[in-house]
Amino acid sequence: MQRQAAVWRNAAQRVVLVPTMGALHEGHRSLIRVARRKARVDGIVVVSIYVNPLQFNDSRDLKIYPRSLSADKQLCREESVDAVFAPISLYEKDASVVLVENDLTTCLEGKCRPGHFAGVMTVVAKLFNLVCPDFSVFGEKDFQQATVIKRMVRDLDFPVSILLGPTKREEDGLAISSRNLLLTGPQRRQGAVLSKAIEFSRQSLGSRAVDLKRKLKRLIEKEPDVRVDYIEFVDTLNLKPVKVARKGNRVLLAARVGSVRLIDNGLL
Among all residues, which ones are annotated catalytic? 28
Q: Give the x-and-dash track for 136-155 against ligand PAF (CB under 6 A).
A: ------x--x----------
Q: How far apart are CA 204 and CA 211, in angstroms?
A: 10
User: Is residue 19 within the footprint of ligand PAF (CB under 6 A)?
Assistant: yes
CB 134 within 8 A of CB 140: no
Nearest to 58 by CA among 113, 107, 3: 113
Q: Select from 5, 15, 20, 128 the one that contacts ligand PAF (CB under 6 A).
A: 20
Q: Does residue 124 bind ligand PAF (CB under 6 A)? A: yes
Distance of closest approach, residue 144 Cβ to ligand PAF, in angstroms: 11
If the CB atoms of residues 8 and 65 are measured against ligand PAF, the closer one turns out to be: 65
By CB under 6 A, which span of 63-71, 120-128, 210-218, 229-237 interacts with ligand PAF? 120-128
Residues 6+ apart with CB under 8 A from 197: 216, 219, 220, 231, 251, 253
Cβ proximity to ligand PAF: between 148 and 216 the closer is 148
176 binds ligand PAF (CB under 6 A): no
Cα(141)–Cα(70) distance, integer angstroms: 24
For Cα atoms 117, 44, 150, give the angle at the middle one, nearest 5 degrees. 25
**Cα four-point dihedral sign 107, 112, 114, 116:** negative
Q: Using the rule CB under 6 A, which residue among 15, 43, 55, 182 binds ligand PAF?
A: 55
Q: Is 123 in the site for ligand PAF (CB under 6 A)?
A: yes
Kindly report the backbone phi and psi dihedral angles of residue 195, in degrees, each rounded to the nearest multiple of 5, phi listed first: -70, -30
Contact set with ligand PAF (CB under 6 A): 19-21, 52, 55, 120, 123-124, 142, 145
